[in-house]
Amino acid sequence: MSNARRSFASTAAAVALAVSVGAALPAVAFAKNPMVGGAPMFASKTIVENAVNSKDHTTLVAAVKAAGLVDTLSGPGPFTVFAPTNAAFAKLPAGTVETLVKPENKGTLTKILTYHVVSGIYTAKDLMKLVKDGGGEAQLKTVEGTPLVIQAKGKSVFVTDTKGSTAKVTVANVMQSNGVIHVVNGVLQP
């Protein structure tokens, strides 16, 4: 794997951690120092401080670094991050990640990454309530400016982008000092 891809993966991990909500929601919800990507996620650390330790989010972390978003996601927030895993990035067409992390594509990369971030803290319970109150779906305005559509099926939360692609939250409620991460199995695009 190239350094650019590793760097993008690491950055993507930071964003992806905030997005996952899995079928085992009750067991995972608010677990003390839950494991993500083989590393404990500490509620006393920021989104970036935790994401850099997840082996499942190296692409995300690399992308966050390439986009210059480390300081933002290390700030006070609070943020809700739908964090795509390395496997989610691997589903993109060949060469996409390598192209996005190039300096000349920083604007596009930043737009994609900030599309995975919502201002405020939305736990899985909050997302489920919004969906219920919305009659089956809810919209959340992202930091990028375009909304995401949230839906629920059973105990699972799904996030749909403007292009109609849907990602499932596979790990929910990974609490951080500056927000919450939900790990997702897809990369969302505005």
Q: Exposed, middle or buried: residue 124 (CB in 10 Å: 0-12, 13-18, 19+)? A: buried
Q: DSSP for 136-156, please give it.
A: S-EEEE-TTSSEEEEEEETTE
Strand partners, 32: none
Whether the CB-CB separation of 77 and 10 falls below 8 Å is answered with: no
Per-residue pLDDT of the chain (190 residues; tens, 9 = 90+): 444 444 333 333 333 333 333 333 333 444 577 778 777 787 888 888 888 888 888 899 899 999 999 999 889 989 999 999 999 999 999 999 999 999 999 999 999 999 999 999 999 999 999 999 999 999 999 999 999 999 999 999 999 999 999 999 999 998 998 999 999 999 999 9
* 154 phi/psi in degrees, rounded to 5: 65, -125
Q: Output the pLDDT for position 42.
A: 74
Whether the CB-CB separation of 171 and 182 falls below 8 Å is answered with: yes
Q: Output the pLDDT for position 31.
A: 52
Q: Output the pLDDT for position 29.
A: 42
Neighbours of 126 (CB within 10 A): 16
Q: Output the pLDDT for position 169.
A: 96
Q: Output the pLDDT for position 14.
A: 37
Domains of the chain: 3-184 (2.30.180.10)
